[in-house]
Amino acid sequence: METKADDTHGSLILLKQGAEARVFDSTFLGRRSIVKERFSKKYRHPSLDSKLTLKRLNAEARCMTKARRLGVYTPILYAVDPVLHTLTFEYVEGSSVKDIFLEFGLHGVLEERLDDIAMQIGDAVGKLHDGGLIHGDLTTSNMLIRDGTNQLVLIDFGLSFTSTLPEDKAVDLYVLERALLSMHSSCGNVMDRILAAYRKSSKQWSSTLNKLAQEDDYGCGGLAKTFIQCMIQFKTFSPKTCLPLSDQTLHSTTLEEACIGPFMDLQLYNTHVKLLAFDLLSLTQNPSASNSSSDPISFSRNGTLLSRLETVGIVTSRELKPNKFLKFIVDDGTGCISCVLWLNHYNSPYFSRRNPSDVRLIASAADRFASEVKLGLVARVRGRITSYRGALQITVSDVVVERDPNAEILHWLDCLRLARQCYNVVPPRNK
């Protein structure tokens, strides 16, 4: 999108860019405004890409307008351009709820203000849900507090849709809960205050909060298989269960059976856990759980040590150093994860101790992975969680390019269900 001025818009100054859109600071008929451009995806057929982009653009505009009709403060929509695929709306002067919550207890952010914001969040979400509107990305980054009036303003309806199902409303609240636990644990029980306001605002709160609280029975498929493999690895099954399992056996074993056993701090240490990006970036760094020099650091979540990760997202950046490494970034919709795939197996001191035939196989696989990672593709990445210059990243062990258009959604569901049923369970202390 060009950044030249015209009769309607002033100059465009890029503020942010995500996997789906760019956000510009501009002016509209003399007023300061925000221009959101949904850019095309080169990996899609042009005619299909144009239809999908326009459909999502119109859906976002409709959802933002509907939210205002429901009594929720949103930026005023000025214009929709179906040719340039842009939305132009009001510039809201104020701070994000994320910044306010991060400053809680540090720069004069008082408990009373925290309570007021929590009440406004619960009230706004309750109005949305009673009107059959799901925000889809309820994080504190998408909430602003307008200067002067202290009104809560919801932004970014790019993932919004209409639904009256309690399950969809519960997922909306759960995304918010995860964002608060990941980024704002110092704010205490702010989610409880939000839910209290939600109950007052929503007439249909009972079914939604029941869905939010209930344990989801998800006893078959990939999720149960992940649990079972984890339990086998740490021998929390009986010897009979630890025998090689067929797909039929895995399919018939329930999640409750898989979760039986003493959950210790190392329960998931050698398992590729499924986490969203904002959960990964909130992990706590710890000393190594092993004595190996090749395993200098580890990370924890709620007292459970983690070392490996699986993520699914769109490849948004790619940097190749031949015979050295491939560095790429995966965006899963909640944040960006840096991934490093090493390509120096033949001259690495670590691999010099390995069997040459094994090294050739590993190097060949790495080269194949590197050739398949392309910009715009959806990739499933697994590897070790590492830290480089203070930033978390994945040292890649394998990559699969996903052809299923539902892969990202299914990964999100897996992450949410695993978090509720396993990752968020605090392991008991050894007495």
Q: Which pLDDT score is estimated for 186?
A: 76
> Cα–Cα distance between 83 and 54 in angstroms, integer?
8
Residue showing tokens 């207890």? 105
The candidate with the shortest Cα–Cα distance to 183, out of 109, 244, 104, is 104
By annotation, the residues acting in catalysis are 137
Q: Which pLDDT score is estimated for 1?
A: 53
Q: Which pLDDT score is estimated for 429?
A: 52
| C-beta separation of 312 from 408 below 8 A | yes
CA 4 to chain centre: 34
Q: Which two tokens stand for residue 378?
A: 């959806």
Q: Which pLDDT score is estimated for 282?
A: 80
Q: Which two tokens stand for residue 336?
A: 């960006």
The candidate with the shortest Cα–Cα distance to 305, out of 281, 287, 293, is 287
Per-residue pLDDT of the chain in tens (431 residues, 90 and over written 9)? 544 445 556 688 999 888 789 999 999 988 999 999 999 888 778 888 888 899 999 999 999 999 999 999 999 999 999 999 999 999 999 999 998 888 876 655 678 888 999 999 999 999 999 999 999 999 999 999 999 999 999 999 998 999 999 888 998 998 898 888 877 877 878 899 999 999 999 998 988 888 887 633 333 333 333 443 444 343 333 333 333 333 333 333 333 333 333 333 456 667 788 888 888 888 887 655 444 444 456 787 777 788 888 999 999 889 998 888 999 999 888 888 999 999 887 777 766 677 788 788 888 888 889 999 998 899 999 999 988 877 889 999 899 998 887 888 888 888 888 877 777 665 555 54
Q: CB-side exposure of 246: number of CA atoms within 13 Å?
A: 3
30 to 11, 27, 92: CA distances (angstroms): 12, 6, 15
CA 408 to chain centre: 10
Q: What are phi and psi of 5, to 5 degrees?
A: -85, 150
> Cα–Cα distance between 379 and 195 in angstroms, integer?
36
Q: Which two tokens stand for residue 127?
A: 């109005």
Q: Which two tokens stand for residue 157?
A: 């309806």
Residue showing tokens 């396993």? 422
220 to 217, 223, 225, 351, 380: CA distances (angstroms): 9, 7, 7, 38, 21
Q: Could you give the domains of the chain?
A: 13-90 (3.30.200.20), 94-213 (1.10.510.10), 263-405 (2.40.50.140)
Sheet with 94-96, strands from edge to edge, namely: 94-96, 143-146, 152-154
Q: Which two tokens stand for residue 360?
A: 């050739």
Q: Which pLDDT score is estimated for 220?
A: 34
Q: What are phi and psi of 200, to 5 degrees?
A: -75, -35
